[in-house]
Amino acid sequence: MLIRVGSRGSRLALTQADIAAACLRAPGIEIALIPITTAGDRDRTKPFGEIGLRGVFVKELEEALLERRIDIAVHSAKDMTSTDPAGLVVGAYLERDDPRDALCGADAIRPGMRVGTASARRKAQLLFLEPTLSIEPLRGNIDTRLRKRTERGLDAVVLAACGLDRLGLAREIGKRFEPDELLPEAAQGALALQVREGDEHLVAAADHGETRGRVEAERAAVAAVGGGCLAPVAAYHDGVRLTGLIAAEDGSWLERRIGDDPVALGLELAALER
């Protein structure tokens, strides 16, 4: 049986697809990896908000699934929209890796530093921690952003720790931010295997129940905040409690809330937007 696995074509995405393929291989199963270019890959200069915000790295993969050009799409779960398109489901979440954000180029945040990131969530929390920072937009794959830090003379860049770990680049990390410093993006650190409804059996054996529970709570909280919210939001479940965050992108205000009900937590966050 041949299973066609779709993935973005970056080095990290293909590494993640290989991780997924290793979980899916079994006697009689052949895996074919199919790279697919997404809108976020084609335009590496505009801010995410100008090319569609969430979903810019998954839309084309989802279209390929619906058109039956692939059987499974491998996503960084944090890149997915808060709800699945009609006809598609996340059939499996692989066991979550480190969900934290990582500081590369320095071992601490210090006043006046120039820090690169394209994430409004990271920008808001960094400026709340240290208002004197200069946050500079920085896009590209991990290797590109690490290179641009040196080329542009930035003091540091902030990236997802899991991506650096998966590429064998943990040596670049000077500090891993704890969630009480920088709350991670909903689903950060998890890989999602998306399939057509009815094809869940293709990936069911790879599903990690604890990761599913935590990630789906985070996604539900963000979905409940609502599409009309323009403020940076985040949600993270540590296995014990669910924490949500909403903030101003300039770091001038930030609110955290803790709750057991993801929807109620999301609605509470939405009511705090200023």
168: exposed, middle or buried (Cβ count in 10 Å: 0-12, 13-18, 19+): exposed
Residue 254 near residue 247, CB atoms below 8 Å: yes
Instruction: Show the 3-state SS of 97-160.
Output: CCCCEEEECCCCCCCCCEEECCCHHHHHHHHHHCCCCEEECCCCCHHHHHHHHHHCCCCEEEEE
State the catalytic residue, choosing from 18, 43, 71, 79.
79
List all residues 6 or more positions away from 233 whose beta carbon is below 8 Å from its beta carbon: 121, 222, 225, 244, 245, 246, 247, 269
The answer to whether 79 is a known catalytic residue is yes
The CA distance from 131 to 128, in Å, is 6
Active site residues: 79
